[in-house]
Amino acid sequence: MNGILIVDKPEGFTSFDVVAKLRGILREKKIGHCGTLDPSATGVMTLLLGAATRFNEILPDHSKAYTASLKTGIVTDTLDITGKVIRQSDAEVTFDEFREAALGFRGEITQIPPMYSAVSVGGKRLYELARQGIETERPERKVTVYSLEALPGIEKGEFSLKVECSSGTYIRTLVYDIGEKLGCGATLTSLRRTMANGFTLDNAQTLEQIEALAREGRAGELIIPLDKALAAYKEITVTAPQAVRFSNGGELDLNRISGASEPGLYRVYGPDGRFLGAGENSGGECLKVRKVYTG
């Protein structure tokens, strides 16, 4: 089974849990995901199956979108509501105050990854150190918040955010930083990923839906062709001999290929329309093989 599967991750599952569950449902060992979600979070997970797993690094769109709920006046060790409360404040925050603070985090910002995260420092996952009561310095990272909308909540001190951001952005950290700017602290209470890698909740299936179709032998109906996720790259078609050479890892003479004159990545197809993989024009005389698709 080769291609892309979009899952609506349930609450309480780690990203590894989802992958492990699907390996059993689909009888497919090679499954990888394109970005973790915290166990308490739900929503879009992009999974690559079979031969598609090798293409993760060249997916053109790694941006994500979320809907997040939060509460001001409280800070926890995990930066979300599942953690231990370490600080509280009685300060009242109006929606206008919250909105003004939140909108200041649009554009390129700097974040420090939370201790309870999968980031590795010195060969150790931060969450492993955190569970041992060890806090260590974490390198800052630059991320981009492409858009941010602040929304009022139902209860006093509760608010929501709609965020579209670059890969690697921690919404828990964003909420924490907004709380620090307000001077009263804030913690994430719920998180739902609504978009990842160009796919939305409209493309997503629950584990129950996938399992039901798998029992009927119809799980393949849910698989999205890999080249759909690579649609941002221009398409080129090569001859039958060139297709054989490319599939065997051989470079192709750019002078004998139509439509690949500009530097960059290309989706390569055989004369029969079969997707062969990704080739790269790096400014030389040949189209180099970046990834061969064996699906």
Q: Which residues are known catalytic residues?
A: 38
- Whole-number Å distance between alpha carbons of 133 and 135: 7
Question: Nearest 10 degrees: CA dihedral of 127, 172, 186, 69?
Answer: -130
- Whole-number Å distance between alpha carbons of 172 and 78: 8
Other beta carbons less than 10 A from residue 49's beta carbon: 23
Q: Are 234 and 267 in contact (CB under 8 A)?
A: yes
Other beta carbons less than 10 A from residue 186's beta carbon: 29
- Whole-number Å distance between alpha carbons of 198 and 59: 10
How does strand 85-88 pair with strand 74-76? antiparallel
Name beta bridge partners: 17. none
Helix, strand and coil percent figures for the chain, each rounded to 5: 25, 35, 40
User: CB within 8 A of 77, min separation 6: which ones?
Assistant: 83, 84, 86, 115, 116, 130
* Residue closest to 250 by CA, chosen among 279, 226, 221: 279
With tokens 């031969």, the residue in question is 51
Between the alpha carbon of residue 111 and those of residues 6, 77, 153, 172, the distances in Å are 28, 16, 25, 10
